[in-house]
Structure 1
Amino acid sequence: MENTSQSSKLRWYNIALLAFTVVWGFTNVVNNFANQGLTVVFSWILIMFLYFIPYTLMVGQLGSAFQNSGAGVSSWINELLGSKWAYLAAWTYWVVHVPYLAQKPQIIMISLSWLFRGNGTFVNDTKPIVVQLLSLVLFLGFVWLATKGLNALKKLGNIAGILLLIMSFLFIILGISAPFILHTRVATPNMGNLHDYIPKFSFQYLTTLSMLIFAVGGCEKISPYVNKTHNASREFPKGMLVLAIIVALSAILGSIGMGIVINAHHIPNDLMSNGAYEAFQILGRYYHVGNLFMWIFAITNTLGSATALAVSIDAPLRMLLDEADERFIPKVLLKKNRHGVFINGYKMVTVLVSILIIVPALGIKGMSNLYNWLLNLNSICMPMRYLWVFLAYIMLVKYMDKYKSDYVFVKSKPVGYAFGIWTFVFTAFACIMGMVPKANMAAFGTSSWWFQIAMNVITPIILIALGLILPAIARRTNKISN
């Protein structure tokens, strides 16, 4: 029985592959190439060594120390800091999905446009308010769908996720080999010039850091697997290091591949929204298969985004409300319908996402600018949840003697504090810098530029403030006696 148990445990290569599917995607390459061009190659190397590897190994220790904590980060915070902080962590993890949900309908429509029209004119030619109204209708449709069960859609999403990973590697292999095999022209002149890969550490560069962090975040989702790993103290960190190597290679080679098919010195404004499709369309022309690669990517991206939208309406809300403490959550939000859905929670999601879909379209000119802004807002808000991971690690270091674990990142408390504080401060700094629009006023127009920066500042403040207000409402409506 012991041998059977050991053989069923995960090995380092299982951990690396599992984590890779959670963390990485081809759009991470496209979005950061759009922000930085070829200099992103150097940025990827820095972010991997200074941020991503420590981040993953901290998660390993947290997962090992709290192996029976099913709720992840909020459970860690509850153990280390108490229920009030745990509620705020759970709220943060839920509420940062609001901008994510607001953009998914856009991505689905863009994918369908490329699939049926074969170009990106939908983004360039359609008025933002029209697109956002269609996005709202699509979102409301998925809210209804989420109340009816998601099993079939989840299976399609799993298939789409695997295909998207395959397409990412296919792009790297075919893109980099095209000039050597097919003798195609490289889109970026003088790609061998090392000077083009070294970023200028200017204010403008610092505003792009949040997108890099957004790209490599999320590995805490694999924390439950630490103690399901064979010889966790050795194989889990080995798996994480292999993950970092695979992600780094994918990011670097993918960025070089983008430079081969897209001119890094003249990056179009719509590259974030249309770049992945354009890249696969160009590869299709290189290899004489027409739009085949682009069609496959568009289909898989549509399925993957649809699944992510439906699941993300329900799953994060369940994490917040399933084991809700009535001292912090009003009972009205805990009401379920006959399908077991938190119906009033869904209404709250619908209101917040609907506002974030419609209001920006009133002040941001151009659909490409609107898409880029909403993606950037995601890069500001999503990393806010990682702050709780680093805070949990700092507190775990403080109480290291109390909370033992099979795997320990660093044994020295001062070094542990240094890693925890560094990653926390760097994440917060990147989020704040990300609030500044990536282009200057001339590119957006003065009113649109200021509207964007105002929304970037106000939106996360409002989303977090709502979490601070709910406990006060709960105290008044739940009639809790002290």
Structure 2
Amino acid sequence: MTNRRSIGAVILFSMIIAAVFNFRNVINNYVSIGTLAAPIFLIATILYFVPFTLVIAEMVSLNRSAESGVYQWVRSSLGGRWAFFTAFCYWFVNLFYFISLLPIVLVYAGYMILGEEWTIQPWLIAVLSVAIFVVATWVSTKGARWIGTVTSFGSTLMLVMAMLFIVAAVGALLGGITPANDLSPGGMRLDPNSGLTAWAFLGTLAWIIQAVGGAESIGVYLNDLKGGVRAFARTIIVAGVAIGLLYALGTWLMGVFVEKSSVSYSNGIFVTMQAAAGHFGLPGDVVVRVVGLIMLVATLGGLLIWTSAPVKVFFSEIPDGIFGRRVGARNQQGVPVVGAWIQFAIVVPLLFIPTLGAGSSINDLLKIVTNMTAATALLPPALILIAYLVLRVRFEDTVREFRFGSRRVGLAMSVFLLAVFSVAFVAATFPEGQALWLTLAYNVGGVAIFLGAALLWYQRYLRRLRALSPQEAAAELAPTAPLRSQENTLALQADRDAQGPRAQDPVAPA
């Protein structure tokens, strides 16, 4: 294990907030399905985010010496082939996330500078996004301390703004304001006259799952965290509950100031905040600029997290023979610099593809890329859950500091989550109202080409490895849980010896 302990629980909490919580997710889902998103957020937190963070905590506990996170988690129960495929998926789907994140940076910058929506062609947004991504890639190679500083500031501003909005909305309700939307349970239903079908709702469900996702990206910073596995598990669970409550309450209170029909994906947060400011007699133009600044800083913090973490996941610990030693080489901060710039080179052409189907509307562009991002974002956690399912079935006796309940609880929850993922993924991949050519070329074709190429590339590596050493090839495909169990036993014994004769064995019985 490395000895880089440079960040504490507060910084980790802020990094989780930056990677997961974004008021834009509140806006997107309110625009799509109204206040119905509030209870769905709460349900998603209870039934998905909290259980999934416990799964992540157990995987981290099992692989406490791993640098990359996802790759080693999956390899522990499924072996090298599926570990590589999962790491590739996690990195690959993140490429699409950039396509939705980078354009919104420009939208927020426009509101901060102009105080109103910036009318800009989608193709120009793609060009400017490339320039932003150059800077983000360079900063992301500076390690957790640099990223933590930026994200801590941005996430703090985001949380303060979210809490002020919640307090203002509650205050307005107590002051007798007539809500713009029906906030009763009856108002949180799928309106048959809204034009939103059940299939479209299931597609939006993928957006909500994605909104409370991202916890797995923080696993790569375990070796940077003071306090180790226990501090990681405690911090990530607390952050998950806080994020879910913020999402649910924030979405419900959106209906206090603005009607669903008056907001869009690009202007929703500004229209809402301006309406709230007007209710309390505050200057709306100033509030809009301040909100633009906050959203810009917070979004840039999230951009740095997602520029760095997936690169570490994919390039840090995959075998050198797959892409070459130089591609996976890490700097002193544990970041594969060459891999980060390869990611940049791939993202650049992907930025321009959605503009072909977006016409001249930034909202159409944001809807296309958000939908595609939500669909592909379900792939990595689904594969992690499959690996976890196999872990509890085949390797229940492996030694680890933390377990997600009994074997029966772990198995039942992973099966349930996989079923939900499957339905949401199909609905989001084939959204209603999107041009068929765009769905086939971008949603289906892009995924098939990239994932197929990854499997063929790995098979090429495996053939070469078998020719050199059949034993090494067999070891590459074998699960590493037994090896991790031995490592953890020695590490836990060392911890007990360091703590003295009263130290207790923290490993839960199988």
1:253 aligns with 2:249: yes
1:23 aligns with 2:20: yes
TM-score (norm 1): 0.81
For residue 438 of structure 2, the aligned residue among 422, 430, 451 is: 451
1:44-123 matches, within 5 Å, as: 44-120=41-117, 122=118
CA contact (8 A) 1:16 1:243 kept: yes
1:32 aligns with 2:36: no
Q: Which sections of structure 1, spanning at least 5 residues, go unmatched?
A: 1-9, 442-447
1:373-392 matches, within 5 Å, as: 373-392=368-387
Q: Tell me, what secondary structure is at the counterpart of 2:320?
A: coil
1:468 aligns with 2:455: yes
For residue 278 of structure 1, the aligned residue among 248, 252, 271 is: 271
1:17-416 matches, within 5 Å, as: 22-120=19-117, 122=118, 125-143=119-137, 155-181=149-175, 183-188=176-181, 190-192=182-184, 194-199=185-190, 202-221=198-217, 224=222, 228-229=229-230, 240=237, 245-264=241-260, 266-268=261-263, 271-290=264-283, 291-331=285-325, 333-334=327-328, 345-365=339-359, 366-413=361-408, 415-416=409-410
CA contact (8 A) 2:55 2:388 kept: yes
1:243-291 per-position Cα deviation (integer Å, ceiling 9, x unaligned): 5553343222211221112213x254xx222212222222222223323
For these two proteins, the number of residue pairs brought into alignment is: 451
1:379-414 per-position Cα deviation (integer Å, ceiling 9, x unaligned): 11222111132122102211344313343323244x
**Bigger Cα displacement from structure 2, 337-346 vs 367-376:** 337-346
CA contact (8 A) 1:98 1:353 kept: yes
CA contact (8 A) 2:75 2:82 kept: yes
Amino acid at match of 1:275: G
CA contact (8 A) 2:258 2:275 kept: no
Could you say which residue in structure 2 is the equivalent of 1:427? 421
CA contact (8 A) 2:68 2:317 kept: no
1:481 aligns with 2:468: yes
RMSD: 3.6
Offset at 1:341?
7.7
CA distance in 1, matches of 2:235, 2:332: 46
CA distance in 2, matches of 1:247, 1:147: 27
CA contact (8 A) 2:17 2:243 kept: yes
CA distance in 2, matches of 1:407, 1:340: 25
* Structure 1 residues 74 and 340: CA distance shift in structure 2, 3 A: closer
* Structure 1 residues 329 and 59: CA distance shift in structure 2, 3 A: same
Could you say which residue in structure 2 is the equivalent of 1:445? none
CA distance in 2, matches of 1:403, 1:452: 43
1:354-375 per-position Cα deviation (integer Å, ceiling 9, x unaligned): 2211122123222210112112
Amino acid at match of 1:155: T
CA distance in 2, matches of 1:70, 1:344: 17
Amino acid at match of 1:35: S
**Bigger Cα displacement from structure 2, 252-261 vs 289-298:** 289-298
CA distance in 1, matches of 2:75, 2:102: 34
* Structure 1 residues 52 and 144: CA distance shift in structure 2, 3 A: closer
CA contact (8 A) 2:141 2:336 kept: no
CA contact (8 A) 1:380 1:435 kept: yes
CA distance in 2, matches of 1:199, 1:46: 16
* Structure 1 residues 267 and 455: CA distance shift in structure 2, 3 A: farther
* Structure 1 residues 454 and 159: CA distance shift in structure 2, 3 A: same
Offset at 1:71?
2.3
CA distance in 2, matches of 1:169, 1:139: 30
- Identity of matched residues, %: 21
Q: Tell me, what secondary structure is at the counterpart of 1:273?
A: coil
Amino acid at match of 1:431: F
Could you say which residue in structure 2 is the equivalent of 1:6? none
TM-score (norm 2): 0.77
